[in-house]
Amino acid sequence: MTGERSILRWGSVPVPYAALWSAEEGKMTVDVCRHINHLACCDAEARGVGKPIFGKPHMGRQREVIVNDLCDLCARPLKGRTKVSLSHARVSATGAEGACVMQVEPLVHKDCALVCVQHCPSLKRDIKAGTLFVRQVLKHRHQIALLTTAAVQEFCGVSRDGVAGHAKVELQRWKDRDLSWLEAGGANA
C-alpha cells in the first residue's frame, strides 16, 4: 500500500488525496465500497488522470480517509497530531449530546490545513468572509449516511435502497480558531 497514497501535484499545487479527478467524474455506479464493506455510490477509480477537481471529493477516497481517520491532503493518520476542520458547516444544536458540527469535508493536519489555505485563494477568502470555519478538533467520530432512493437514481441511474453516500465527520468537541492560529505553526502541538 505504501506509495499508493502519495501526494500528487498539479503544477506546484498539492492535490488533496480525496479530490476527484476529471477522468473519474460522471461515472457513478452502485457497488460494494471496500472501505465500508457496504453498498455505496462509487466513482470510477482513476486518481491522477485528467485534471483535479478541487473542492469535489471522490466518493470512495472521501469514505476511505474519514473511516480510517486519515488527513484529507496527505492521507496519513491524524492520530496524535493537531486536527483541523476547514468547513462551511455551521454548528447545529440538534445532536442528542448537544451542539455539534456535521461536515462532509475530511479533517486535515494543522500544517496540511495551512498548505490548503496557502494554495487555495477561495478558502482564504471564505475564512476572511466568515463563511468558512477553522476549528481545532478535540473529539470527533464518523457516520455513514444512507442515500434516498431518489438520490441513488440521480447519481447512479439505478433505483436501489440501502446505498451509502458520503461519510460524514461529526465534531463533538472543538475550539474555534482563525487564520492567524493556522499560520502560527505548532503542527504537532
Q: Is 74 in the site for Zn ion (CB under 5 A)?
A: yes
Could you tell me if 64 and 35 are in contact, meaning their C-beta atoms sit under 8 angstroms apart? Answer: yes
Min CB(22)–Zn ion separation in Å: 24
Q: Which is nearer to Zn ion, 5 or 38 (CB)?
A: 5
CB 46 within 8 A of CB 78: no
Q: Which residue's CB is nearer to Zn ion, number 49 or number 187?
A: 187
Cβ contacts of 97 within 8 Å, gap of 6 or more: 172
Residue 75 phi, psi (nearest 5): 60, 20
CB 139 → Zn ion: shortest distance, Å?
A: 19
Alpha-carbon dihedral 170, 3, 164, 43, rounded to 10 degrees: 130
Which element (helix H / strand E) includes 118? helix 110-119
**Contact at 8 Å (CB) between 99 and 93?**
yes
112 binds Zn ion (CB under 5 A): yes
Q: Which stretch binds Zn ion (CB under 5 A): 2-10, 30-38, 59-67, 102-110?
A: 102-110
28 near Zn ion, judged by CB under 5 A: no
**Contact call for residue 109 and Zn ion (CB under 5 A):** yes
Residue 89 DSSP symbol = P
> Least distance (Å) from Zn ion to the CB of residue 108?
6
Q: Which is nearer to Zn ion, 40 or 117 (CB)?
A: 117
Rounded CA-CA distance 35/107 in Å is 17
Residue with Cβ nearer Zn ion (43 or 72): 72
Name the one range near Zn ion by CB under 5 A: 74-82, 98-106, 130-138, 158-166. Answer: 74-82
Footprint of Zn ion on this chain (CB under 5 A)? 71, 73-74, 109, 112
